[in-house]
Amino acid sequence: MSVYVIAQIRIHDRERYAQYGAGFMDIFLQHGGELLVVDEAPQVLEGEWPHSRSVLLRFDTKAQLDAWYFSPAYQALAKRRWAASVADIAVLEGLPQPQ
């Protein structure tokens, strides 16, 4: 069953965040991830949306997601994101696909 990561990010240092972005895809793709959405100006239908960037990722399995997120390479890279932004990130489990 697919799992998704949704990240709502408030970027306060674009230059440093760009350093994170430059290394992201190499590590991400090694773990079978699929980048579905990166949006800095979503249409807000209800409520407030104070985030600079919204990201939606997909992995085939939770094991792949964990291998990516907790890998030494990603954790080292994530230090740049942590220094440049504040994020709310959640893992969402997909619905079973009909057979």
Residue 51 DSSP one-character state = -
User: Taken in order 51, 55, 56, 58, is the CA torsion positive or negative?
Assistant: negative
User: What digits encode the pLDDT tens for the residues 13-53?
Assistant: 999 999 999 999 999 999 999 999 999 999 999 999 999 99
Percent of the chain with pLDDT over 90: 94
Q: Is 3 in contact with 62 (CB distance < 8 Å)?
A: yes
Give the pLDDT confidence score for residue 96 in this predicted structure. Answer: 84
Spell out where 1-99 has E strands. Answer: 3-11, 34-39, 53-59, 85-93
User: What digits encode the pLDDT tens for the residues 83-99?
Assistant: 999 999 999 999 887 77
Mean pLDDT within 52-76: 97
Q: What is the pTM of this model?
A: 0.91
Domains defined along the chain, listed by start: 3-42+59-93 (3.30.70.100)
